Amino acid sequence: MIDWQHFTPVSALLGGAMIGTATSILILCNGRIAGISGIIGGLIKVTHADRIWRIAFIVGLISAPLIWQMFTVLPEITISASPGLLILSGLIVGFGTRLGSGCTSGHGICGISRLSLRSIVATLTFMLTGFVTVYVMRHLLGLIA
């Protein structure tokens, strides 16, 4: 059943457009894909000249909530996962995104935007396992709120 009460199409579309503008700036000015897992993962092993734009991008990303707070209060952020679950989740996300060469941004937004079949398959796959995981954890096992 669709939750119309929490349905926020306007802020979702506008926020999405901001993200799309961000990926556009990076590909048109820097010639790079705005894939967050790739940008972070690449920091581990690349040369100095390649490292600096990655650091700049991450600094921008981390600064977003700080800049936001200069003007207004942060929107609601609710994390129900326990510390143990956060650690497990983080480990799997870190390993999986590097093995699969991308996450929601690199495959989901940039990849689909350039109609890459590889990224479309990856996105459908992680959406599917995401759906199944929430179903199992929330409805079968009752482990997440």
Residues 34-73 that bind other proteins (CB under 8 A): 34, 36-37, 40-41, 44-45, 49-50, 52-54, 56-68
The rounded distance, in Å, linking the Cα atoms of 100 and 107 is 9
Instruction: Please provide the DSSP assignment of 97-141 as one string.
Output: HHHTT--IIIIIIIIHHTT-HHHHHHHHHHHHHHHHHHIIIIIIS
* Residues 70-109 as x/- pattern, contact with other proteins by CB under 8 A: ----xxxxxxxx-x-xxxxxxxxxxxxxxxxx-xxx-xxx
CB of 67 to other proteins, least distance (A): 7
User: According to CB under 8 A, which one of 46, 70, 73, 138 is a site residue for other proteins?
Assistant: 138
**Does position 114 bind other proteins by CB under 8 A?**
yes
The rounded distance, in Å, linking the Cα atoms of 140 and 133 is 10
CB of 141 to other proteins, least distance (A): 11
